Amino acid sequence: MGEHNHNHEVHSGERLIDAARDSLLSAGEQWTSMRADVFEELASHERPASAYDIADNLSAKRGKRVAPNSVYRILDLFVGNNLALRVESSNAYLANSHPGCTHDCIFLVCDECGEATHVDSDEVSKTVRGIAQDAGFATRRPIIEIRGICASCN
């Protein structure tokens, strides 16, 4: 999926959690127990999860109410530091399987089951950013999402 002329590492499970923690720490942020819990919860979801889903599950796990607002703030911090990806059309989040490297991830969102997988294409990213630049537009973050039917629902 796209040309990677860098060391593109995709993680899952415990290794993903370690990689996420390392990324956040090297950005000078703290890996608090609350942040660790939010990340673990997010990483356990196969489909994009909302701040409300995560707050509900964490409240049950921690035995006391976790406010969606504090989950939002942590998710924002994660997105800003490349630990989580925001699927705009679902208003939900996914753990980033490559926290060590930044891409304009392309999401494939299934209209049937809600699953969102992602692919990376530096070529597409370069083209999209180029179009914006030619229009004199300073790109912050391209959002590329494809709605459709996933392979298992097809």
Name the site residues for Zn ion (rule: CB under 5 A): 4, 8, 101, 103, 105, 110, 112-113, 115, 120, 150, 153
The token pair that represents 10 in the structure block: 């995709």
The token duo for 151 is: 């392979």
Residue 22 or 112 with smaller CB distance to Zn ion: 112
Half-sphere exposure of 73 (CA within 13 A, CB side): 6
Sequence-ordered alpha helix ranges (H) in the chain: 13-26, 33-43, 51-62, 68-80, 122-134
Residue 105 gets which letter from DSSP?
Answer: P
104 labelled binding-site residue: yes
- CB-wise, 57 or 125, nearer to Zn ion? 125
Q: How far is the CB of 46 from Zn ion (least distance, A)?
A: 11
Kindly state the smallest distance separating residue 106's Cβ from Zn ion, in Å: 8
110 is in an annotated binding site: yes
Nearer to Zn ion (CB atom), residue 75 or residue 116:
116
